């Protein structure tokens, strides 16, 4: 075991990825260093309860930790995030190594708690109380030179969709002060970020709760987009019912706002949408899509879809497939419905049999594969700009590895967020560069491009 070392295991969404990145950075400012699981003194399991069998995944992860560390009592295990919020101090009974349980708001106090627990080896702490306002965190800048950054603008949700556990594990909606958001964005840009993604469970409801400072989501977008040095701006996740005319118009008026939007549909059936308590119908969703594409004709849409919600008939499912075609989603996250503790749908009758759910999911994903490939194929021949991230996992071009003409493959993302591979001169660090390219090939989930001469 390496003293003052840590290892983080992360499940779930971009907010969890961001939380894990902040936790790691906060520990490093305290003199900790990353280590393999088997060598770490502190192991953090950052959990998600949205997808299927979240508790089983946590128990499996705890088993992995015990096996890797030899059940060493000196190893401090912290369970954070949504499952920690859900189970609370009951997690102490699952493993003697678990000494910190920090829920969604408690994560802000986790670095200090870890320091205390290392000084007090007999102590256990459960930080699971929701705070009345957004739990502001200590500054912990991410990796210097990272081309993209995630910035949280709000947490929690007030919608209580029938299938969703988020209001119970992330709490009610709390908006972060605009000044704190802008200051974090400036810090990210100063450290090399050229692209920022704003995060929240329901971002375009930002500022509509009692903890807001009066700044609307559109006004926040304007202020972030105007920051010097920022090239690209994205956000996730909006709710279709909360997207107003200003939010739509932003895709036409803010050049930094990328032409990509993740817009959760969940179902194409009006009857299912009503039971889900989504508060829009298919016609309203299609009008929103039409307005968005009028504002930005090249806008690429992705979505979330739930298959087999209680009471879903074959006709309901067919309506979802038809909506997918009508909207032309370039990608989607799709999964079978499953009960979540506390969510209203756990009490709904007419549960869809698992074998029917899985058969429908296969059909939906087959359609999505066709729609996604059609969208990728249409990109061939187009010129675009890549924000380079890192060397590609693909093999570089053979030959000349040590010569002046040596090439190697790099991966970047275009404004639509798609991974794009490009061959570039070797022996140079291209990370964070924006380069013009032409798309020359489409693959299953990515594109291949050829670098163009610099413009101007």
What does the pLDDT read at residue 141?
Answer: 63
- CA 361 – CA 363 distance, rounded (Å): 5
The answer to whether residues 45 and 61 touch, using CB atoms and an 8 Å cutoff, is: yes
Three-class DSSP labels, the chain: CEEEEEEEEECCCHHHHHHHHHHHHHHHCCCCEECCHHHEEEEEEEECCCCCCHHHHHHHHHHHHHHHHCCCCCCEEEEEEHHHHHHHHHHHHCCCCEEEEECCCHHHHHHHHHHHHHHCCCCCEEECCCCCCCCCCCCCCCCCCCCEEEEECEECCCCCCCCCCHHHHCCCCEECCHHHHHHHHHHHHHCCCCEEEEECCCHHHCCCCCCCCCCCHHHHHHHHHCCCCCCEEEEECCCHHHCCHHHHHHHHHCCCECCEEECCCECCCHHHHHHHCCCCCHHHHHHHHHHHHHHCCCCEEEEEEEECCCCCCHHHHHHHHHHHHHHCCCEEEEEECCCCCCCHHHHCCCCCCHHHHHHHHHHHHHHHHHHHHHHHHHHCCCEEEEEEEEECCCCCCCCCCCCCCCEEEEEEECCCCCEEEEEEECCCCCCCCEEEEEEEEECCCCEEEEECCCCC
- CA 268 – CA 286 distance, rounded (Å): 10
What does the pLDDT read at residue 456?
Answer: 60
- CA 307 – CA 281 distance, rounded (Å): 17
Q: Could you give the angle at the alpha carbon of 185 between the alpha carbons of 181 and 187, nearest 5°?
A: 120
Confidence band, pLDDT 50/70/90 cuts, at residue 203: very high
Average pLDDT over residues 347-373: 98
pLDDT tens per residue across span 117-174? 999 999 999 999 999 999 999 887 666 678 999 999 999 999 999 999 999 999 999 9
Percent of the chain with pLDDT over 70: 96
pLDDT tens per residue across span 431-444? 999 999 999 999 99
Confidence band, pLDDT 50/70/90 cuts, at residue 50: confident
- The count of other CB atoms within 10 Å of the CB of residue 60 is 11
The answer to whether residues 27 and 46 touch, using CB atoms and an 8 Å cutoff, is: no
Structure tokens belonging to residue 375: 């969208």
What does the pLDDT read at residue 411?
Answer: 96
Q: Is the pLDDT of residue 8 over 80?
A: yes
141-258 shares its CATH topology with 268-279+293-379:
yes
CA distances from 121 to 74, 109, 113, 124, 361 (A): 8, 18, 12, 8, 48
User: Which has the minimum average pLDDT: 128-137, 220-229, 387-396, 424-433?
Assistant: 387-396
The owner of tokens 């702490």 is 125
Q: Is the pLDDT of residue 281 over 80?
A: yes
Calculate the average pLDDT of the chain: 93
Pick the CATH number of 268-279+293-379 from 3.30.750.200, 3.10.270.10, 3.90.1170.50, 3.20.20.140: 3.30.750.200
What does the pLDDT read at residue 51?
Answer: 65
Pick the CATH number of 2-127 from 3.90.440.10, 3.40.50.2300, 3.30.420.10, 3.40.50.300: 3.40.50.2300
The owner of tokens 């549909």 is 265
What distance lies between CA 191 and its chain's CA centroid? 21
Specify the pTM. Answer: 0.91
- CA 172 – CA 159 distance, rounded (Å): 9
- What are the residue ranges spanned by the domains of the chain? 2-127, 141-258, 268-279+293-379, 383-451
Q: Is the pLDDT of residue 57 over 90?
A: no
Confidence band, pLDDT 50/70/90 cuts, at residue 52: low
- CA 416 – CA 297 distance, rounded (Å): 13
Beta-bridge partners for 391: 410
Q: Is the pLDDT of residue 71 over 90?
A: no
What does the pLDDT read at residue 145?
Answer: 73
**Burial zone of 228 (CB within 10 Å; 0-12 exposed, 13-18 middle, 19+ buried):** exposed
What does the pLDDT read at residue 12?
Answer: 80
Average pLDDT over residues 329-351: 96
Q: Could you give the angle at the alpha carbon of 209 between the alpha carbons of 206 and 213, nearest 5°?
A: 75
Q: Is the pLDDT of residue 399 over 50?
A: no
Average pLDDT over residues 174-199: 95
Q: Is the pLDDT of residue 378 over 70?
A: yes
Instruction: Report the CATH number of the 141-258 domain.
Output: 3.30.750.210
- CA 122 – CA 371 distance, rounded (Å): 56
CB within 8 Å of 417: residues ≥ 6 apart: 234, 258, 260, 300
* Nearest one of 97, 29, 113, 93 to 64, comparing CA atoms: 97
Length of the chain: 456
């Amino acid at each position: 075991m390496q003293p003052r070392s840590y290892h983080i295991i992360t499940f779930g969404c971009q907010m969890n990825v961001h939380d894990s990145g902040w936790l790691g950075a906060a520990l490093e400012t305290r003199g900790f260093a990353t280590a393999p699981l088997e060598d770490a003194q502190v192991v953090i399991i950052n959990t998600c309860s949205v997808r299927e069998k979240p508790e089983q995944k946590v128990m499996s992860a705890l088993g992995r930790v015990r096996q890797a560390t030899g059940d060493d009592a000196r190893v401090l295990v912290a369970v954070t995030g949504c499952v920690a919020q859900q189970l609370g101090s009951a997690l102490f009974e699952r493993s003697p190594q678990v000494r910190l349980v920090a829920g969604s708001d408690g994560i802000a106090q986790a670095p200090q708690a870890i320091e205390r627990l290392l000084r007090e080896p007999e102590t256990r702490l459960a930080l699971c109380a929701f705070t009345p306002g957004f739990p502001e965190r200590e500054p912990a800048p991410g990796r210097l030179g990272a081309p993209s950054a995630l910035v949280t603008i709000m947490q929690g949700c007030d919608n209580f969709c029938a299938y969703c556990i988020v209001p119970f594990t992330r709490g009610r909606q709390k908006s972060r002060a605009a000044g704190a958001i802008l200051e974090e964005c400036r810090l990210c840009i100063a450290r090399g970020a050229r692209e920022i993604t704003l995060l929240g469970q329901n971002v375009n409801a930002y500022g509509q709760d009692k903890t807001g400072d009066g700044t609307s989501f559109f006004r926040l977008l304007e202020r972030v987009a105007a920051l010097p040095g920022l090239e690209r701006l994205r956000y996730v996740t909006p709710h279709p019912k909360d997207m107003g005319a200003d939010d739509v118009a932003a895709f036409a008026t803010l050049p930094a706002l990328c032409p990509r939007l993740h817009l959760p549909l969940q179902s194409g059936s009006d009857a299912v949408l009503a039971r889900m308590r989504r508060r829009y119908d298919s016609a309203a969703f299609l009008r929103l899509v039409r307005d968005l594409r009028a504002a930005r004709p090249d806008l690429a849409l992705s979505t979330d879809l739930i298959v087999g919600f209680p009471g879903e008939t074959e006709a309901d499912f067919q309506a979802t497939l038809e909506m997918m075609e009508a909207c032309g989603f370039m990608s989607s996250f799709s999964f079978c419905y499953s009960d979540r503790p506390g969510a209203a749908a756990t009490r709904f009758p007419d549960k869809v049999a698992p074998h029917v759910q899985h058969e429908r999911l296969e059909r939906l994903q087959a359609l999505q594969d066709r729609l996604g490939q059609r969208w990728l194929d249409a990109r061939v021949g187009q010129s675009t700009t890549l924000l380079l991230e890192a060397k590609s996992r693909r093999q570089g071009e053979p030959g000349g590895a040590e010569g002046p003409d040596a090439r190697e493959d790099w991966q970047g993302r275009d404004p639509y967020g798609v991974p794009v591979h490009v061959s570039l001169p070797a022996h140079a660090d291209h990370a964070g560069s924006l380069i013009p390219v032409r798309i020359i090939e489409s693959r299953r989930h990515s594109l291949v491009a050829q670098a163009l001469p610099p413009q101007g």
